[in-house]
Amino acid sequence: MRTLIVYTSQTGYTKMYAEKLAERLQADCFTVEELKKKDDGFFDTYDAIVYGGWAMAGKVVKSEWLLGKAPAWKDKKLAIFCVGATPVDSPLVEQAMAKVVPDELKSYVGVFYCPGGLNYDKMKLPSKMMMKAYASMLKKQKNQTEDDKKMAEMIAQSYDISDVKYLDPIVEYIEK
């Protein structure tokens, strides 16, 4: 099985997961930017294509790259993995993952979530500002839930909740 992993990453978590996944699946691995100029023939040689993007406001950054091409790639194994700062056990993860792929593609595009973390040192300024605004919105919110409080505390500083074990279901999906 020839597998291609494509990803985009700002602070390194998605890159780490993409590279580890590529090692495990003996796959080729590129950033989405590196593949911009490739024509359709390049992708024809792959049996499986996995896209990894980081979560931004509940969406997977640049996932439209795979979603747009998916109908033409129905004969391949396709998957998207999302890397976010939300812990896996949060109900927000399931809610957001349910919306990653439109209904008509759900039967043939797998969706997976891998927790990453927050790295303020590597974050670009606009991202830092957006995170700050989000944190202060959470703090000021009336009727704050326990989850909101925990999240506000958590995102006040950098943290790392990534673990390569979260790649296991993706490996299984591709290899089955």
Alpha carbon distance 112, 84 (integer Å): 11
Closer to ligand FMN by CB, 21 or 76: give it: 21
Quote the CA–CA distance of 115 and 56 in Å, as a whole number.
13
Nearer to ligand FMN, 53 or 67 (CB): 53
122 and 10 Cβ atoms separated by less than 8 Å = yes
Task: Provide the residue type at 162 as one letter.
Answer: S
φ/ψ region of 98 (left if φ > 0, alpha if ψ in -120 to 50, else beta) reads alpha
31 lies in the site for ligand FMN, by CB under 6 A: no
CB 8 within 8 A of CB 155: no
Could you say which residues in the range 135-174 bind ligand FMN, by CB under 6 A? none
Among the listed residues 110, 127, 148, 159, the single contact to ligand FMN using CB under 6 A: 127
Q: Which of 3, 4, 5, 9 binds ligand FMN (CB under 6 A)?
A: 9
Q: Does residue 125 touch ligand FMN according to CB under 6 A?
A: no
Residue span binding ligand FMN (CB under 6 A) among the ranges 30-38, 52-60, 62-70, 102-110:
52-60
Residue type, 70: A
51 binds ligand FMN (CB under 6 A): no
Is the CB of 108 or the CB of 117 nearer to ligand FMN? 117
Q: How far is residue 128's CA from residue 93's CA, in Å, rounded to a whole number?
A: 22
Instruction: Figure out which of the listed residues 3, 4, 6, 13 binds ligand FMN, where binding follows CB under 6 A.
Output: 13
Longest dimension (CA), the chain: 54
Binding site for ligand FMN (CB under 6 A): 9-15, 54-58, 83-86, 116-118, 123, 127, 130-131
